[in-house]
Structure formats: C-alpha cells, structure tokens
Amino acid sequence: MTNDMVDTPFRIGFLLFPNITQLDLTGPYEVLWRMPGARMFLVWKTREPVRADSGLAILPTVTFAECPQLDLLCVPGGGGVNPLLTDAETLDFVRRQAAAARYVTAVCTGALVLGAAGLLKGRRAVTHWMSMDFLKAFGATPVDERVVVDGNVITGGGVTAGIDFGLRMVAEVAGETAARAIQLSIEYDPSPPFDSGHPRSADPAVVDRANAAAETRQAERRSQVEKAASALHGPASH
C-alpha cells in the first residue's frame, strides 16, 4: 500500500489472555511479522507469562498501559474469551485502541470480544462455526466465509482461518505481491487428509461429537454473551 512501510513502523498488536487458543494468535502472527515494516506487540494486563488452553506459555511484550497506539488490533479466540466478554478493563482497552486503529480485527471467537466492546454493530463478521449465532446479539450479521471484510473491521473464521486472515491483511496493507511471497515462504499450501474442517463437509456424527465436547464451554459462553449484550443495549424493557 505504501513504499515507505519499511521506514514507518506498522504497529500490530495481538491481545493475549489466559486460555487463548494459541494458533488463533500464532497463525496470523507468523504471517504478519514477515510484512515489511511490521512491529509486533503481544498485549495483556501484565507481563507475566500467559498459559494457552493447550498449556503453552506465551510472554506478553507490553501491558495495556504501555501499549502504543496500534495500526492493527487483533483479538484472537479460545475458551478464555468467555470471561473477557464482561471484563471492563479489557473491553476498555479494546475500545480505546479501536478508536484510532486503522484496522480492527479478530480471529475465531475473538470477534465476540469486538462485539462485547460495541464494535460490531451493523457490521458483517465471522467467527468459529460453533459461535456464529452469538454475533447477532451484538448487532452483527454472521457471514459464513473464511475472512470477512467490512470497512476497517476484518474478521477471520475458526482457528486455522487466522493464516488466511493474516495473508489478507498483508495484501491490504503491503500489497498482493508481498502477501504471495509470504504465503510461499511459509509454504502455505494446505491439503488436509480429511474433508472434515467444517460442518458443511464433516460427517454429522463428527459434528455431534464436537458439539458435545464443547457443550459446557458453549453454555457458559451463551450466558456471557447475554450479559455483555445487555450491558451494551440495556435491559430489554428499554
């Protein structure tokens, strides 16, 4: 997009939080750090290590208070999204950054955090397939695509879609040639052994098994979404 990106840092910040799904973050991170001029930040309330849902420990590089104004804010997803939906400190940080960021983005269920911050009203968006219906509570229109672009709000689908999202962002910011070169450098040439990556193609028994395994988390998420939507919109009687 610009010839002086190498001289002018493009600040990219990923929200980090306990019980994050690390690939939601590390997938697009692996793409975006390679973009000319990119300066990367991992942001959380403290600089203490954060443990992902897989047990992997990730180290924040800046706190909310230390974080500079970002050009691109990205909120990943995971089970740890649930408490964030009613976490005033996190939602305030997201709103503050979004007010001046060039791009406000999310991967997987990170989109629900954008929704809880009031940033998806009237927008088209995508999230993990299990949580698509929750987008409506925040005034968003769910769109079943790998990456959804609505103005400067850009969302990616579940987990692995973060790599597609990252490449779309590089193309948007630095041009398609740069994005294609990064795709080649990371050998992103997926050919999965099974056609089971989405309910539209997976065996119904496999879909049922996945839903059953996530039942407790999704019930908690529904409750949190309702609380967050109520905080945004006020009581239904109003």
Catalytic amino acids? Answer: 108
DSSP state of 20: -
Q: Beta 50-51 vs 57-58: how paired, if at all?
A: antiparallel
Q: Which residues pair with 83 in a beta bridge?
A: none
Give CA–CA dist 196/193, Å, rounded.
9
Considering just the CA atoms, what is the radius of gyration of the chain in Å? 17
Residue 135: exposed, middle, or buried by beta-carbon count in 10 A (0-12, 13-18, 19+)? buried
SS3 at position 141: strand
H or E stretch including 196?
none
DSSP state of 67: P
CA–centroid distance for 72 within its chain: 11
204-213 vs 215-233: helix crossing angle, rounded to 10: 70
Kindly report the backbone phi and psi dihedral angles of residue 93, in degrees, each rounded to the nearest multiple of 5, phi listed first: -60, -45
8: which 2 tokens?
A: 């002018």
**Which of 122, 91, 107 shows the shortest CA–CA distance to 231?**
91
Which residue in this structure is represented by tokens 């999230």?
127
